[in-house]
Amino acid sequence: MSRTSRSLVTMPNQAKKGDIIDIKVIVQHDMESGFRRDEQGGIIPRDILRSFLCTYNGTEIFRADLHPGTGANPMIVFSTIATESGTLEFTWAGDNDYLAKTTSQLTVT
């Protein structure tokens, strides 16, 4: 069964052509490593995010592979150049069919 959760993107909605824009994305996720134990001593199963992908009008502009050492609710910050108006799509994927997607619009003048 797939799970989804809330993600948040912070970026400008307008930029001039050629401007460098900063993008911050965060997703709500526990990032359980599989090494911790619960109150009864049983191992809590691993449940981590594996990857993050950002596309700009369908072209990949940023990708990150995530590992068990990544903290809960991971935030990724990166930059890109505003080349044309369009859609940025942000996709998080992980264990247990986890998937979170969101989009933001950028208007370039």
Task: Name the average pLDDT for the chain.
Answer: 93
At 34, is the secondary structure helix, strand, or coil?
Answer: coil
Using pLDDT thresholds of 50, 70 and 90, give the confidence band for residue 62.
Answer: very high
pLDDT digits (tens, 9 = 90+) for 28-50: 998 999 999 999 999 999 999 99
Instruction: Name all domains of the chain by residue range, CATH numbers in brackets.
Output: 7-108 (2.60.40.10)
Burial category of 52 from C-beta neighbours within 10 Å (exposed 0-12, middle 13-18, buried 19 and up): buried
Q: Which pLDDT score is estimated for 69?
A: 83
Q: Which pLDDT score is estimated for 1?
A: 35
